[in-house]
Amino acid sequence: MADEVLTAPLVLEYPFTRTTGPVIGGFLTGLREGVIHGVRRSDGTVMCPPLEYDPITSAPLSELVAVGTVGTVTTWTWNGEPRAQQPFTQPFAWAMITLDGADTPMLHAVFVDSADDMATGMRVEVVWRDKREGHIIDIAGFIPAVASTTGEPGAMPGDVEQIQSVRTSIRMEYTYTPGRALSQYLRAMKDKRILGDTCPETGEVSVPPRGVSSVAGKPTLPELVDLPDTGYIESFNITRVPIKMRPDLTPPYVSAWIVLDGASVGFMGLGMNVEPEDVRVGMRVRAVWKPDDELEMSAQNILGWEPTGEPDEVITDYARVGRIEQGDDQ
């Protein structure tokens, strides 16, 4: 369908580095050594996993105590469709497990064949990961405990190196939808057409179209307008050092605000076929398109902007941006 809204996957991921402090660091150090710690509150009760501050009095907590590796399920639910990064790939139970010697439960996974094997009150024991590094994933999960397992608290070896920081990778998968106005713009891009939309009050033309006027706070006019692929540079930046996150951009490169002929406001584009030293505010430019057989429904069809060789645009007010000659009374 011609006006169907486009969608695309969007994945964001980053390996965050957490400095732990002594309480969480002590807990993680214990996991590496095969010992699970809780923290003792002033009333003598033990919270596992430990918290840095008392959940009732807000007092700082510091006394780590080893708890057992066997515990009791206090409640549970079945997870029939495990996702990536969950403890098991096969269906499993999420359970609240109070380890022996602790007074609060931890949430973790219990690996059993089916929900029929789960019950509140059942005894479960820790399954350690083969190689432990001082991370919460050192606990692979839990399985039903055999009667002979006591799960006595382990003893920490003396003089171990404390965990001070830990890497936690986060990955989020989105379905990105650019919306109605932008979808029309992207479809037209496949035909090397550039569309903008118009504010019903000021007549301001925005590229890419936004569907709504940020000035009037109203929907833009339903009819999009075709714009030429020429315009001018209203200001620019020259990035002169490599940006770690953008290995695809080789410095020095020019990122410029491009105002198309007929448009009211600019957008950011890459300067091409020009030395950075030769770029000027007001310089006339035209789009450099991908070869026709590589065109997609994407703004990436425009590789960048190159000088046309025409005389520069005359800019009268460097504070203000966009085409402001008409209808601007300030």
Partner 1 sequence: MGKERAAVLGVGQTKYDTTYPGSMAGMLREAATNALEMSGKCWDDIDAVIMGKAPDFFEGVMMPEVYLAEALGCVGKPIMRVHTAGSVGGSTACVATSMIQSGVHETVLTIGWEKQSESNAMWALSLPQPFATSVNAGAGGYFSPIIRRYMMMTEAPELIGCMVALKDRKHALNNPYAHLHQPELTFEQVVESPMLWDPIRYSETCPSSDGACAIVLGSEKVAEAHDGPVAWIKGIAMRSESGSFAGRNMVSPAASEACADDVFAQAGIHDRRKEIDAVEMYVPFSWYEPMWLESLGFAEKGQGWKMVEEGATSIDGGDLPVNCSGGVLSSNPIGASGMIRFGEAALQVMGLAGDHQVDGAKTAVGHAYGGAAQYYAMWVVGADK
Name the segment binding partner 1 (CB under 8 A); options: 38-46, 103-111, 129-137, 252-260. 252-260
Q: Which of 316, 288, 283 is nearest to 302 (CA)?
A: 288
Is residue 250 a contact residue for partner 1 (CB under 8 A)?
no
- Give the footprint of partner 1 on residues 164-193 (CB under 8 A): 164, 168, 170, 176, 178, 182, 186
Residue 272 within binding range of partner 1, rule CB under 8 A: no
First to last CA, the chain: 45
Q: Find residue 12's DSSP bridge partners.
A: 172
**52: nearest Cα among 67, 73, 37:** 37
8 A C-beta contact, residue 26 and residue 203: no
Cis peptide before 208 (omega within 30 of 0): yes
Work out whether 320 is an interface residue with partner 1 (CB under 8 A): yes
Closer residue to partner 1 in complex, CB, 226/317: 317
**DSSP 3-state of 303:** strand
Q: How many residues bind partner 1 (CB under 8 A)?
A: 76
Tell which positions 20-39 bind partner 1, by CB under 8 A: 20-24
Nearest CA-CA partner of 180 in 4, 330, 31: 4
**Interface with partner 1 includes 136 (CB under 8 A)?**
no
- How many angstroms separate the Cα of 78 from the Cα of each of 105, 145, 212, 322? 17, 19, 45, 57
Minimum CB separation of residue 221 from partner 1 in Å reads: 15
Cis peptide before 157 (omega within 30 of 0): no
Site for partner 1 contains 241 (CB under 8 A): yes
The reply to whether 281 sits near partner 1 by the rule CB under 8 A is yes
Rounded CA-CA distance 164/29 in Å is: 9
- Return the range that interacts with partner 1 (CB under 8 A); candidates 105-113, 138-146, 218-226, 316-324: 316-324
Q: Which stretch binds partner 1 (CB under 8 A): 28-36, 121-129, 286-294, 311-319?
A: 311-319
Please select the residue that binds partner 1; options are 221, 227, 288, 297, rule is CB under 8 A. 297
Specify the residue, 112 or 186, whose C-beta has the smaller distance to partner 1.
Answer: 186
**Beta-sheet pairing, 36-40 with 139-144:** unpaired
Q: By CB under 8 A, what part of segment 37-66 binds partner 1?
A: 51-58, 60
Nearest residue (CB) to partner 1, 12 versus 146:
12
Query: Shortest Cβ distance from residue 310 to partner 1 (Å)?
Result: 20
252 is a site residue for partner 1 (CB under 8 A): yes
Residue 58 and residue 197 in contact, taking contact as beta carbons nearer than 8 Å: no
